[in-house]
Amino acid sequence: MNFQMQASALAAAIFVMCVADASAYDRRVVVVNNTSTTIQEFYASNTGQNDWQEDIFGEGALPPGGEVTINIDDGSGYCKYDFRAVFEDATETTKAGVNVCEVGRFSFEE
């Protein structure tokens, strides 16, 4: 193999590793309810969206003191998401710009 072919092969291998690395971020987050009220609905939309996606809990809920692991990955490649929780007493809270590629645990507090 001549030098030019070796250099091309090396460049291709480096490119593949970089692309794989960028898409391999773990977007699983443990969501914790550190409040005294059950979370009835939970939404996570990447910061490029202008509206909330579907309720991730669906028919479920997260009781006080409870936690659940959620894969936030929506296939967009985004790392930053806005979180919204709707509680059983109809109050809600929003946290913008959570970096799910870096944060492994997120808590809703009183």
State residue 22's pLDDT score.
Answer: 46
What dihedral angle (degrees, nearest 10) is formed by the CA atoms of 5, 14, 72, 47? -100
Domain-located, residue 58:
yes
Cβ atoms of 56 and 73 closer than 8 Å: no
Q: What is the pTM of this model?
A: 0.76
State residue 20's pLDDT score.
Answer: 44
Indicate the number of domains in the chain.
Answer: 1
Domain-located, residue 53:
yes
Domain-located, residue 87:
yes
pLDDT digits (tens, 9 = 90+) for 13-59: 454 444 444 455 789 999 999 999 999 999 999 998 989 989 999 99
Domain-located, residue 11:
no
Determine the number of helices (DSSP H) and then strands (DSSP E) in the chain.
1, 6
Domain-located, residue 7:
no
Helix (H, G, I), strand (E, B) or coil at 94: strand
State residue 104's pLDDT score.
Answer: 92
pLDDT digits (tens, 9 = 90+) for 50-94: 899 899 999 999 999 999 999 999 888 999 999 999 999 999 999
Identify the residue with better confidence: 26 or 10. 26
CATH number of the domain where residue 70 is located = 2.60.40.2890
State residue 18's pLDDT score.
Answer: 44
